[in-house]
Structure 1
Amino acid sequence: MTVMSYEERLTAPRSWWGLAVGAGVSLALILLPLGPLALLAGLVVGTAAGAALVSAYGSPRLRVVAGSLVAGDAKIPVAALGEATVLDRDEALAWRSHKADPRAFMLLRAYVPTALKVEVTDPEDPTPYLYLSTRSPERLAAALRDVRA
């Protein structure tokens, strides 16, 4: 029996890096009255801070390793999980808005249009399901099935 491993990083879209540059330009313009050195420092510090925020927001990973699903900082044994449902763009939108349960664990990134909904079967856990933004919901569901088998 081979155990399929899965790994994905939910990186922010390239266009978001323009926001980091915009933050630097904005801070530079705010500091413009203080002189050219302050302008340069504002540009560097603002861009670095914006880039750090974009990078941090785009850093969560989804992994299936050693019988566990690791989603961001959460680690859940696959034995505590039930059926995985692949959500297309429309269903993912519905499950992160009007169908959402406030008790659910959501690793949500709005820039990732598809997702996987995984039932939690552990009776001790009040979490009804996991909502996991993923660019490859079919592959993640297959990896969970393979680990469970």
Structure 2
Amino acid sequence: MTASTTPSYDERLTAPASWWVIAALFGLSLALVFLPYGTIAALLALTAGTCLAGVHVSSQGSMRIRVTDRLLVVGDARIPLDVLGEPQVLRGEEARAWRTYKADLRAFMVMRSYITAAVRVEILDPDDPTPYLYVSTRTPDRLAEAIREKSGQAGTERA
């Protein structure tokens, strides 16, 4: 039996539009600083400032989350589904609590300040010191359902 490589859940977390507006405004403000040195200097500053800010926004805001037949893939991390417990959907105040005062320093956390919902999943592997995963997501119900569905399948395939 071959495992499907098509993810049952696939989400790309990207920076909100307001971050891109701020990047453009940064370039514009840099152009205004260099305007007394001439139009060419201002255009170069506009281009360089906007590009640098855009690269920063792109690198800080981008993350991919996938659930495949056997793995939960979050960025570069690949976590086998058979070591994950029951996913818990977190919204609003509960999500903020797990990001702040309830957080365990050993946890694997992928947080995005511009996303208020998350999924928390316990790690059941006794050899892994990581107690749980906390993943910011725009669609926590779909992610939790995909983890439940695929981890149930992974458990039956192993047995």
Q: Structure 1 CA distance, aligned partners of 2:41 and 2:68?
A: 48
Q: Structure 2 CA distance, aligned partners of 1:111 and 1:88?
A: 13
> Which moves more between the two structures, 50-59 or 139-148?
50-59
Hey, what does 1:9 align to over in structure 2? 12
RMSD: 1.4
Hey, what does 1:39 align to over in structure 2? 42
> Which moves more between the two structures, 111-120 or 3-12?
3-12
2:77 to 74, 78, 90: 74
> Which consecutive aligned stretches of 4+ in structure 1 deviate over 6 angstroms post-superposition?
none
1:136 aligns with 2:139: yes
SS at match of 1:9: strand
Q: Structure 2 CA distance, aligned partners of 1:105 and 1:5?
A: 22
Provide the identity percentage.
54
TM-score by length of 1: 0.93
Q: Deviations over 1:105-134 (max 9, x none)?
A: 110001001000010111121111110001
- Consecutive unaligned residues of structure 1, counting only runs of 5 or more, are none
Give the C-alpha shift of residue 140 in structure 1: 0.6
Matched residues, number: 147
- Consecutive unaligned residues of structure 2, counting only runs of 5 or more, are 153-159
